[in-house]
């Protein structure tokens, strides 16, 4: 039986990054993955493939709707070859997961293909291609999450589908009904709306992206309505029924009336749940909470001292970059270092167009906490770069402490916001004031100037270009 300093169950962004950092720190490391490719949900059926389809569909929309205004005329019809688009997506996934294989070899990490389950607190049984048993002084659980469902919905994975199936459809839906107005539903909804599908979004709460700043929800809702999405807020889904190639969704609106929606596909996008099936955590004595998450302390240690857990399987936002930070944190903790994670400064991003990004506190949270704050907002349409490219939607909003001017939250929607948010994270990590940001030179013309202008607005209501 092979023995290791550390073994990681699950090879998603949390697991494989933890493995690399452990190996860098001199630990003999093994990683166990039940699927034939590494990278977990994110690389195989999540972040990466969805971004590939968002990019391809964005190119199509630009070609059919915006090229002409730039003086680019394409004779004849511009057509979608969905099979080729899905094929390109898969090639991106294959290249990316292949990169993880390379990183495992480079760092001398042993990879086991099979379902890893606890035999006891230091032994893992592997069922599958590399069947057997290994021993490890320390074990990191990084098994991720699976799509959630509503108890009355039967997922046939043909017409009533999850995000996994939505990434590999054989046809463009005529009418896609999306249950859930969160990140995943909105991103995939935009892919198929661009390609010509009618899209209806049904959300239980009174707005899309209910956990983000209300201003961002309002702005994205406006953009989606302009793109002819049907946005049904405050609707409680009661039933989903498939009849042949038709799916019928019944929901109760805020007046208590039952309304019916008919489409050829229904994407159930109501969040994700921790994935611990087959782990046999109880054999190691590891405790799960009532939500199915693995309980951990501030060191990401379970109730069993040599077993740690990271990523979607524990509490907190289900984000790949959160899992990566936690993977590094555990590796460095095992090496005797003193790492830290500020969970308030882990950004959230929605990769629609316009992109939506945020870090820190929302206005709603600051009001609830009784913290007095100033808000500075700047619209993208006032930027020369935005006008030059034609990306006019959105704004940057900076929230700063009323007394100290320290930046407490940054919320943005617009072109390239997924990248722009990093400036806000750096500023807040060093406890910058709004005035600090406002006095830093930002290249002209760029989208980043909106951050400077919003900081000027938050400092003393002195934005220059509005």
Residues annotated as catalytic are: 444
Which residue is associated with the tokens 């956990």? 211
Q: Which residues contact 299 (CB under 8 A, 6 or more apart)?
A: 308, 330, 333
User: Rounded to an integer, what distance in angstroms lies between the CA atom of residue 251 and that of residue 249?
Assistant: 7
Q: How far is CA 8 from CA 20, 122, 166, 277, in A?
A: 11, 12, 29, 16
Residue 134 contacts residue 1 (beta carbons within 8 Å): yes
Angle (deg, nearest 10), helices 320-334 and 13-24: 30
Q: Is 254 left (phi over 0), alpha (psi -120 to 50) or beta?
A: alpha
User: Rounded to an integer, what distance in angstroms lies between the CA atom of residue 406 and that of residue 408?
Assistant: 6
Gyration radius of the chain over CA positions: 24
Q: How many CB atoms lie within 10 A of CB 147?
A: 22
Under DSSP, is residue 392 helix (H, G, I), strand (E, B) or coil? Answer: coil
Q: How far is CA 1 from CA 15, 232, 306, in A?
A: 22, 57, 19
Which pair of structure tokens corresponds to residue 109? 């990490």
Which pair of structure tokens corresponds to residue 435? 């005035």
User: Rounded to an integer, what distance in angstroms lies between the CA atom of residue 19 and that of residue 6?
Assistant: 8
Residue 277 contacts residue 284 (beta carbons within 8 Å): no
User: Rounded to an integer, what distance in angstroms lies between the CA atom of residue 1 and that of residue 231?
Assistant: 57
Q: How far is CA 171 from CA 81, 154, 175, 192, 325, in A?
A: 10, 21, 11, 10, 38
């Amino acid at each position: 039986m092979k023995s290791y300093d550390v073994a990681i169950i699950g090879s998603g962004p949390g697991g494989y990054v933890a493995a690399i950092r452990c190996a860098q720190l001199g630990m003999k490391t093994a990683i166990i993955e039940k699927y034939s490719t590494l990278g977990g949900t994110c690389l195989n059926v999540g972040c990466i493939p969805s971004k590939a389809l968002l990019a391809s569909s964005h190119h199509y929309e630009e070609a059919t709707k915006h090229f002409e205004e730039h003086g680019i005329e394409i004779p004849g019809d511009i057509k979608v070859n969905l099979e080729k688009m899905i094929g390109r997506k898969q090639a991106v996934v294959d290249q990316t997961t292949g990169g993880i294989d390379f990183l495992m070899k480079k760092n001398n990490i042993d990879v086991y293909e099979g379902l890893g389950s606890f035999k006891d607190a230091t032994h893992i049984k592997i069922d599958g291609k590399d069947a057997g048993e290994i021993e490890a002084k320390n074990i990191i659980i990084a098994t991720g999450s699976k799509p959630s469902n509503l108890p009355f919905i039967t997922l046939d994975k043909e017409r009533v589908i999850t995000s996994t199936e939505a990434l590999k459809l054989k046809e463009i839906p005529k009418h896609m009904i999306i249950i859930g107005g969160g990140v995943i539903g909105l991103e995939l909804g935009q892919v198929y709306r661009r390609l010509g599908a009618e899209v209806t979004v049904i959300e239980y709460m009174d707005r899309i992206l209910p956990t983000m700043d209300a201003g961002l929800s309002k702005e994205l809702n406006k953009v989606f309505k302009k793109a002819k999405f049907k946005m049904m807020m405050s609707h409680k889904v009661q039933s989903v029924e498939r009849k042949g190639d038709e799916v019928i969704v019944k929901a109760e609106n805020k007046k208590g009336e039952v309304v019916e929606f008919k489409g050829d596909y229904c994407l159930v996008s109501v969040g994700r749940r921790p994935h611990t099936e087959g782990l046999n955590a109880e054999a190691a004595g590891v405790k799960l909470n009532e939500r199915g998450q693995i309980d951990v302390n501030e060191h990401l240690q379970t109730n069993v001292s040599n077993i740690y857990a990271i990523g979607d399987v524990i509490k907190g936002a289900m984000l790949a970059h959160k899992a990566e930070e936690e993977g590094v944190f555990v590796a460095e903790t095992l090496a005797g270092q003193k790492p830290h994670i500020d969970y308030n400064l882990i950004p959230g991003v929605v990769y629609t167009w316009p992109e939506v990004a945020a870090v820190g506190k929302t206005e709603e949270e600051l009001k609830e906490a009784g913290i007095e704050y100033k808000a500075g907002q700047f619209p993208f349409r006032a930027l020369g770069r935005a006008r030059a490219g034609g990306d006019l939607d959105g704004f940057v909003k900076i929230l700063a402490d009323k007394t100290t001017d320290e930046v407490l939250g940054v919320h943005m929607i617009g072109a390239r916001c997924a990248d722009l948010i990093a400036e806000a994270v750096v500023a807040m990590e060093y406890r910058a004031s709004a005035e600090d940001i406002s006095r830093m030179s930002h290249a002209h013309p760029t989208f980043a100037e909106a951050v400077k202008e919003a900081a000027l607005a938050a400092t003393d209501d002195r934005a220059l270009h509005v």
